[in-house]
Amino acid sequence: MSSSGSRPLAGRKIWIAGIGGAGMSAYALLARAWGAEVAGWDRVATPYLAHLDGIDVAIAPDPPPAPAGWEVYVSTAFAGRVAGRPRADLLAELVSLRRSIVVAGAHGKTTTSAMIAFCLDRLGLDPAFLIGGEVPQLGGNARAGEGWLVVEGDESDRSVAALRPEIAVLLNVDLDHHTTFASRAEVEDLFDTWLAAVPRVVRAEQLEPTEVELAVPGGHNRRNAAAALAALELAGVEGAERVIGAFAGAGRRLERHGERVFDSYAHHPAELAADIAAMRDGHRVLALFQPHLYSRTRYLAYEFAVALATADAVCVTEIYPARETPIAGVSGRLIVDELARVRPGMTVGWAPSLEDGARIVSGWMRADDVVLTLGAGDVDRAVELL
């Protein structure tokens, strides 16, 4: 690729509100590597900012004015609070600048995107990637390589609909974002409309799980790997089956801490059930679950209980609100009450704080038990306590 092709954003000035997020920090890294001058703001410092050396980042409770004459892109978390273009516009432009593979679906996006990028990397094909979680074997969640661009698409704010990759992977369809979609059918319509504009498509639910031996556990990861291998085949990549078995996982995706504690970003009933099943290997499974979003908890309390009932003991904490304001009468206790109905007599705990939850679960632990910390908020703080 020519130097001009390697720096297609040369001369641009881009300011990002919410630059510390997993997604926006990745966009910032790539935009700067491709020639743009980049700066931004966030409310708090995050681990993702460690990868943004040389980028001016303001940390403050309130956003400062954007520099005059700069393009402004706004994270979904601050939509309506900061004037500017939505993050989808920036991501759509980045996807358009390189041969791209976009992975979408309710569950498994981060792992499958990471598997694809890992295979390309290990085969010497120098991928660029934008992934919604840390991938230790790749040194982070983003890179500006010269090969295929691998992107994790997001339906939570419908931004995936703006992306025009050469290859799209749809892992699954589920109703996970109740403030965005009124029904599962509405989610299906979004994906069908998007895929109609993509030249080559992998529908993972039509594939058999891979038989390749993997380093990551669970039947769900065999399905993720099958989708990754199918996308790489469409991209004309040979030899992926030889290297995918060495993929050790993405951060907070059944990430192992010590001998017995595993931390997972799982925040939907299907994901909780898959992770608990993956840990079933003759051990008792104890779960500490932090619900994520009031709306999701309100609509899926029963489904959460059914999934968590497959563990041996469960402690539920208060809801991590993320971008939402509280809803009257909605708390993590809804799931506790449903668990008591779904599986009477099960060992169940309620802990308003993570610290209390960690103490409760620690008190249950026996030799050889496996402990899962589950949730998309800050439940990973409990790992050190456990």
For the stretch 28-64, pLDDT in tens is 999 999 999 999 999 999 888 998 988 999 999 999 9
227 is a domain residue? yes
278 is a domain residue? yes
238 and 279 belong to one structural domain: no
Structurally, the chain folds into a number of domains equal to 3
| pLDDT band with cut points at 50, 70 and 90 for residue 1 | very low
93 is a domain residue? no
Q: Alpha carbon of 311 to those of 43, 44, 96, 255: distances in Å?
A: 37, 35, 44, 18
End position of a domain, from candidates 87, 119, 141: 87
92 is a domain residue? no
CATH number at residue 365: 3.90.190.20
Q: Alpha carbon of 82 to those of 26, 76, 85, 89, 267: distances in Å?
A: 20, 10, 9, 15, 28
End position of a domain, from candidates 87, 120, 144: 87
46 and 142 belong to one structural domain: no
291 is a domain residue? yes
pLDDT at 158: 86
Answer yes or no: are the C-beta atoms of 115 and 101 closer than 8 Å. no
Block residue for tokens 């990973």: 380
pLDDT at 177: 65
312 and 360 belong to one structural domain: yes
End position of a domain, from candidates 87, 108, 129: 87
272 and 352 belong to one structural domain: yes
pLDDT at 164: 97
pTM, full prediction = 0.89
83 and 141 belong to one structural domain: no
17 is a domain residue? yes
102, pLDDT greater than 90: yes
Average pLDDT over residues 247-267: 94
235 and 108 belong to one structural domain: yes
State the residue range of the domain holding 195. 98-246
Phi/psi class of residue 294: alpha, beta or left (left: φ > 0; alpha: ψ in -120 to 50)?
alpha
Average pLDDT over residues 228-235: 98
pLDDT at 171: 97
14 and 70 belong to one structural domain: yes
153 and 193 belong to one structural domain: yes
CATH number at residue 202: 3.40.1190.10
User: In the chain, what percentage of residues exceed pLDDT 90?
Assistant: 87
62 and 165 belong to one structural domain: no
61 and 176 belong to one structural domain: no
| pLDDT band with cut points at 50, 70 and 90 for residue 5 | low
Cite the beta strand spans of 93-181 per DSSP E. Answer: 100-104, 128-135, 140-143, 149-152, 167-170
209 is a domain residue? yes
134 and 229 belong to one structural domain: yes
pLDDT tens, 139-195?
999 999 999 999 999 887 888 999 999 999 999 988 676 767 668 889 899 999 999
81 and 123 belong to one structural domain: no
